[in-house]
Structure 1
Amino acid sequence: MKKFTLLLLFLLINFGGLALGSWLMNNGPETSWYQDLSKAPWTPPGWVFGAAWTTIMLCFSIYLSELFKNHYSLTALRFFIAQVILNVGWNYVFFNQYEIAGGLIVIILLTSLIFYFFFTFKKDVKNYSYLLLPYMIWLCIATSLNLYILIHN
């Protein structure tokens, strides 16, 4: 597939995953359950989450289009599918099911998977691997927020 076609495909899948995850949150950030939680002092305002995820998914889609153009493998595809499931699943586990510890497990797995992409396929995508940095940084922040909530509630 051409890189542009791959980019469109990954944009559709990644932003579709964000939309599905948002729907599965069941108004999570606005619920009294979430509002009443003790949150980390470094928790960003709500608008930052939307801006961060938009940036992350744009960068991730470009990265994936380069990866699959240069190095299509069943392993990469399986890990991408796992990433989608974990990314969407965290919203459901944390906000819909109120499973703080379960959410932490999911986000740790997701973070590990994105770091796996970065280090495993670095040679295949060369400088494009740095497009994963916003995702990696954000997941470290999100993991710390989830952990703080687990410890303090």
Structure 2
Amino acid sequence: MFKNKLVRFFIFLLCNFAALGLGIFLMQDGPRTNWYLELNKAPWTPANWVFGTAWSAIMVFFSFYMTKLSFQYQFLDKKLIILYTIQWILNVEWNFLFFNKHLVITALFAIIFLWLLIGYFTFEYKKKLRLYTLFILPYLVWMTIATSLNAYIVFNN
């Protein structure tokens, strides 16, 4: 059953969108609260609608990436599962730390670690995945932007 590419893709897609959904649930109304609205935010902060659109596209691309990567190794390869799980937890956790608990410094450390992990995925597996590495690049670029936005808030509030 798991030897089918479409099945694996939908498993990753489901897991990735579950992370997005849980993250949204945990941040509650964070982006619309007075706390967030009154923060001194970076001049390059995108409009609110960009975040949902970007994350949706990123998770689709990341699902393609993980599907291809999972065929380069055993489907339940221990290292890949651990790395993917850490990525999943950090992705969800950041919303809770930043928007719910207002722990912007702790959130910055979480997002830096997530950025490093996505960078690791990108460069560790590029020789095996070749052109498929392009599917993770939007995630890496977005994490670079998101990390800079979080850092700006830490240093300017």
Q: Where on the TM-score scale, by shorter chain, does this alignment land: which range?
A: over 0.9
Describe the SS at the equivalent of 1:16: helix
Runs of at least 5 residues in structure 1 that lack an aligned partner in the other structure? none
Query: Which of 115, 118, 131 pairs up with 2:119?
Result: 115
Other-structure match for 1:11: 13
4+ residue segments displaced more than 3 Å: none
Contact preservation (8 Å) 1:60, 1:132: yes
Other-structure match for 1:75: 79
Contact preservation (8 Å) 1:63, 1:128: yes
Query: 1:4 and 1:117 mapped to 2: Cα distance?
Result: 21
Contact preservation (8 Å) 1:28, 1:96: yes
Other-structure match for 1:134: 138
Shift of 1:126: 2.0
Query: 1:41 and 1:122 mapped to 2: Cα distance?
Result: 33
**Percent of aligned pairs sharing the same letter:** 46
Describe the SS at the equivalent of 1:43: coil
Q: How does 1:97-116 map to 2 (within 5 A)?
A: 97-116=101-120
Shift of 1:123: 2.2
1:2-52 CA-to-partner distances (Å, cap 9, x unmatched) read 211110000000001100000000110001110110000110000000110
Other-structure match for 2:54: 52
Residue type at the aligned position of 1:124:
K
Contact preservation (8 Å) 1:71, 1:124: no
Shift of 1:129: 1.0
Query: 1:76 and 1:114 mapped to 2: Cα distance?
Result: 12
Other-structure match for 1:146: 150
Runs of at least 5 residues in structure 2 that lack an aligned partner in the other structure? none
1:109-132 CA-to-partner distances (Å, cap 9, x unmatched) read 000000000111112222111111
Describe the SS at the equivalent of 2:136: helix
Residue type at the aligned position of 1:77:
I
Contact preservation (8 Å) 1:90, 1:103: yes
